[in-house]
Structure 1
Amino acid sequence: MRRIVARPALALCVVAAGCAGPAEQYRPAGEVPVPEAFVTEYRPDSGANDIWWKGFDDPALDALVARALDNNLSIAAARSRLRAARALVTAERSDLAPSADGTADVQASTTGRGDTDVNAGAGADFLLDLDLSGRLSLEVEAAAANARANRYLVADQRRIVAAAVASQYVELRRTQARLALLQQSTELQQRTLRIVEDRFSAGLSANLDVRRAAADLAQTRSQAGVLRLQRVQAANALTILTGDVPAPIPETPSQEIGSLIPRYGGGPPAGLPADLLRRRPDLLVAEARLAEAAVQVGIERSDLYPRLVLPGTIGIASGGATGLLDSVVGSIGAALDLPLFDGGRRRAEIAAAKAEADARFDEYRRSVLGVLSEVETAMVAIQSYRQRIEALEDAIRQSEEAYTQLNALYREGLSSLFDVLDAQRQLITSRQSLIDSEASLANAVIDFYAAAGAPVEG
């Protein structure tokens, strides 16, 4: 397999071009290998839907996802942090402009003769940093990188929440299907129990057979409580995701068991591994954090260069008996800060900032590998569950025929109850496994699109 090598300066946009001042760009050493294509070919079919969850063609799911994207509290918190980060960019940018602070004071004094003198003054202090080293500009760049990271965090929360809603919805439908199957299975076992009881009453079978059939029925009924608990857990998880409080689970119209689990009809194309670097929000977050760390190297390096500021003041005073303006005083100067000796502190801080940027780059590369693994795993899961569903559908057909034949033979005394109950168990287990596998396939599709960073807009 041919591999594409993405260099950090090209693929990551580590630092913005044209940094002010003499500070140099810092680029962590290393490469991000990205495969040209995915290893696994199994993936969801492409369709007309640009928004991936609409491929399930389920209006209830669409409404839940839309509600969650509007009301989810994790997304709301991420948006608030984005506003804070953007405000910090404005704050850092203001340091490039002159600053001024005003003062005012009034003093009153009384002489021994009872006369009162009032003195008043006002003034302003001015300061302009010429940013010779580029530090102020770099601090703006660092704040902008942090704002980008927070913007991508909002998108990443939307990605996570949309996938979580879809997954919990599938779980809700899975438990509904399992409960419907449980009702069907208990009715099947009740019919078998009645046959065994009739044969026992006629003296054609032992009481042990009755007990065995009754035990199987009780074992099946015991699953109901756990399934109802799982259903409530999924429903409550959905209320949290949509920003609501727990509420009674609405009754859903009765449907065929096979139609309860959402089936995927097709959605956005999978794309290529290189697309992950542009689509996956958490990778963009890591990239922005890397850019912030790389700019921080320049900020620390700027301390090696002189700093020139232009301070100024202006003041006016009035007082005495006349109360007229007595004086106006103004001054402007220049202050030059020259780094001479610090025992190696500045160089050590630069080295620490470089090490942190290198660590961020290693974390970015690890994230890329993790995302590639997630996508490949999801595609293998899709393939595996498709194959399992085909095998289970065949197993159910065979088990239904076997149970029907054995049940008929048992009525005629030509088969043992053990064979009948064994076939019945196999049939029920295969039906349960089919429901669970259909839900697992739906979740594998959800995992794939969440891993691939498919758009969460619309």
Structure 2
Amino acid sequence: MIRFAFAVLFASSVLGGCAISSADVPESGFDAPEQYAAELPPAGLDDPWWKAFSDPVLDDLIERGLAANLDIAAATERLNAAEALLRAERADRLPRVDASIEGGVEADDNGASTTAIGGLFGSFDPDISGRLGAEVRAAAAQYAEADYLRADQRRLVAAAIAAQYVEYRRTGAQLELLAQSTDLQQQTLRIVTLRFEAGLAANLDVRRAAADLAQTQAGLGLIEIARAEAEHALAVLMGAAPGRLSIAPPVGAATIPQYGLGPPIGTPANLLRRRADVLAAEARLTQAAAQVGIEKADLRPSLVIPGSILLGDGSVDGLFSTFLATLGAALDLPLFDGGRRRAEVAAAEAELDASLAEYRQTFLVALAVAENALVGIRAYRERGESLAEAIEQSEAALGQSNALYREGLASLFDVLDAQRQLISSRQSQLDSRADLANAFIGLHSAAASSDGSDQDLSLLES
């Protein structure tokens, strides 16, 4: 028996060297563009991108959010589970040994006697088919995917906190703008009322001015709703109950935080190397290739080498009096299964092709988001310049309209129209600043700029 086992071990080493353990990971089939189509903004230091807002309140919120966000916590636990599964798959490549001790009582006409027998039972799979190696590679790819998905969750959470903070600041600026607009319209209403009382204006003018004032004041509730939603979203992102989050007041005026010089964007090829969801898609592609190897391994012979050591002759006193060791081998040769195994290989190969398509799509979507953000940055900057000019001209027009109205040379309609234009331009400027800030957030999130963390894939090397 032992000689046969050694012969089988030699054969298994030869067969194992010839076996194909897994399918090769296919090439992506496309090259990333060398440069972005749109112009890149100037870059600064390679710090976490949100530092370019120079807003300590935002820095604190993101730091707290990355530490307390529940989606990140869930992704971390899934990474722990993937790590445990990888260790389990690696353990299958080692010999397995179990111990057993049996005891009992036997009774007959001569009385009762106790029995006992013990032993060690083990087995080893030399993996001549390559299945175990492919399963390890699949588990390693799953672990890599889980780690990349955790990093991607950090990317998404940081961007979401920044976007909700911009909305929170936008609504704060809107409240101040509403107060300024209300004060402006109240002044107009007082002037119109005085002119009406002096017989210089019609009651229709008073009603028009009052209607404009009421229309502006009606926007207060909508702003408060948007502000509460942004605050509650920030609380959830930071693992806190809505309404229980304390946000420090902004430093300086209540306006939209302006983006300065962020970290370099790099080239589109950088998306393939550092964007976590693209890397996770690549890991899924590797896992699908390993699954093809697992299914192909079922087409080849498999070998298991069992062994045992038994102690005892059945009596308690003779537990260590007898020693019996056995070593064998079981070779499994797949012959006929109606085509099931090859169908499973075909299914795994189709899944591999699907994973390749998903990998390409993930990259293209990431590239499109980055390109859209770059176009948005340029457009919102130009829009901001135009709106600043519009505000300047609207303020001058309102001043002239008020002066002419007091002299009776212009109608109230001219004054109210100038007011509406000024209020609208100021509101559009706030929205444009928020859109510009969100475009920078989207750009650095899409380009996977530094978030101050690194992936730990050291387990794959062990």
When normalised by structure 2's length, the TM-score is 0.91
For residues 89 and 194 of structure 1, the distance between their equivalents in structure 2, rounded to whole angstroms, comes to 76
- Aligned match for 2:79, one of 77, 82, 85: 82
- Pair 1:386 & 2:361 matched: no
Counterpart CA distance in 1 for 2:315 and 2:302 is: 43
Cross-structure match for 1:401: 396
Per-residue deviation at 1:240?
0.8
3-state SS, counterpart of residue 346 of structure 2: helix
Matching residue's letter, 2:34:
E
1:339-358 correspondence runs (5 A): 339-358=334-353
Distance 1:356 1:190, change over 3 A: same
Tell me the alpha carbon deviations over residues 258-308 of structure 1, each in whole angstroms, 9 at most, x when there is no partner.
Answer: x62100111111111111101110000000000010111111111121111
How big is the alpha-carbon RMSD for the aligned residues of Structure 1 and Structure 2? 2.0
Equivalent position of 1:179 in the other structure: 175
Partner of 2:67: 70
Contact kept in structure 2, 1:19 and 1:138, CA below 8 Å = no
* Alignment-derived partner of residue 418 in structure 2: 423
Relative to 1, partners in 2 of residues 1:418 and 1:294: Cα closer, same or farther, differing over 3 Å?
A: same
Deviation at 1:24, TM superposition (A): 5.7
Contact 1:49 1:266 in 2 (8 A): no
- 3-state DSSP class of the match of 1:22? coil
Gaps of 5+ in 2: 1-15, 454-462
- Residue aligning to 1:3: none
Indicate whether 1:225 and 2:224 are aligned.
Answer: no
CA distance in 1, matches of 2:239, 2:402: 52
Asked if the contact 2:166–2:437 (Cα under 8 Å) also holds between the matched residues in 1, the reply is: yes
Which amino acid is 1:109 matched to? Answer: E
For 1:312-391, what aligned pairs fall within 5 Å after superposition? 312-320=307-315, 325=320, 327-391=322-386
**Range that drifts further, 238-247 or 206-215:** 238-247
1:11 matched to which residue of 2? none
CA separation in 2, counterparts of 1:282 and 1:321? 63
| Cα distance change, pair 365–255 in 1 and its aligned pair in 2 (3 A) | closer
Paired residues, number: 438
Looking at structure 2, the residues matched to 127 and 248 of structure 1 have their Cα atoms a distance apart, in angstroms, of 58
5+ unaligned residues in a row in structure 1: which ranges?
A: 1-17
Cα distance in 2 for partners of 1:332, 1:95 equals: 19
Pair 1:91-2:74 in alignment: no
Contact 1:21 / 1:135 at 8 angstroms: preserved in 2?
A: no
SS at match of 1:304: coil
Aligned to 2:153: 157
Q: 1:413 to 1:173 in 2, by over 3 A?
A: same
Q: For the residues of structure 2 that align with 1:265 and 1:320, how far apart are their CA atoms?
A: 85
**Is the contact between residue 373 and residue 439 of structure 2 (CA under 8 Å) also seen in structure 1?**
yes
* C-alpha distance in 2 between matches for 1:256 and 1:202: 44
8 Å CA contact 2:28, 2:360 repeated in 1: no
1:103 pairs, out of 91, 100, 103, with 100
Does the 8 Å CA contact 1:45/1:265 hold for their aligned counterparts? no
Secondary structure in 1 aligned to 2:88? helix
Q: CA deviation at 1:322?
A: 5.2
1:23 Cα deviation from its structure 2 partner = 3.9
CA distance in 2, matches of 1:233, 1:119: 74
CA-to-aligned-CA distance 1:117-139 (integer Å, 9 cap, x gap): 00011122110111111111111
What's the secondary structure of 1:166's corresponding residue? helix
Q: 1:440 aligns with which of 420, 425, 435?
A: 435
Q: Is the 8 A contact 1:382 1:441 kept in 2?
A: yes
Match of 1:6 in 2: none
- Cα distance, 1:110 vs structure 2: 3.2
Q: Is residue 194 from structure 1 mapped to residue 227 from structure 2 by the alignment?
A: no
2:373/2:442 contact within 8 Å kept: yes
Residue 225 of structure 1 and its aligned partner are, at CA, apart by: 0.8
CA 1:165/1:416 → structure 2, altered by over 3 Å: closer, same or farther? same
Is the 8 Å Cα contact of residues 116 and 319 (structure 2) preserved in structure 1? no
CA contact (8 A) 2:22 2:289 kept: no
Partner of 1:119: 115
Q: Percent identity?
A: 53
**Secondary structure of the equivalent of 1:147?**
helix
Given the superposition, is the C-alpha separation of residues 249 and 130 from structure 1 closer, same or farther in structure 2, using an over 3 Å criterion? closer
CA distance in 2, matches of 1:355, 1:403: 68
Using the TM superposition, give the Cα deviation of residue 253 of structure 1 relative to its aligned residue in structure 2, in angstroms.
5.4
How far the C-alpha of 1:425 sits from its partner, in A, is: 0.5
